[in-house]
Amino acid sequence: MNTRLLVILCALSALHLSGCCNSCKEKQCSTDSTGTAVASAEPKVEVLPSGLVLVNDESYSTEIASGVSLVNISAKWCRPCAKFAPIVEELAKDFNGTPKVAKANFDDCPILCGKFEVNQIPATILFKDGQEVARFTGLKSKEEVKQWVVENTGSTVAMH
Tell me the per-residue pLDDT of 125-155, one tens digit each, with 9 for 90 and over: 999 999 999 999 999 999 999 999 999 988 7
Classify domain 46-159 by CATH number: 3.40.30.10
Mean pLDDT across 96-111:
91
Q: Where are the domains of the chain?
A: 3-38, 46-159
The Cα-based distances of 22 to 34, 52, 79 in angstroms read: 22, 20, 23
Checking if the pLDDT of 15 tops 80, the result is no
Q: What is the pLDDT of residue 51?
A: 81
- Among the listed residues 10, 81, 109, 113, the single catalytic one is 81
- Among the listed residues 29, 78, 109, 113, the single catalytic one is 78
pLDDT digits (tens, 9 = 90+) for 34-86: 655 555 445 567 877 788 889 888 888 888 888 899 999 999 999 999 999 99
**Which of 143, 124, 141 minimizes the C-alpha distance to 69?**
124
State yes or no: is 78 an active-site residue.
Answer: yes
State yes or no: is 29 an active-site residue.
Answer: no
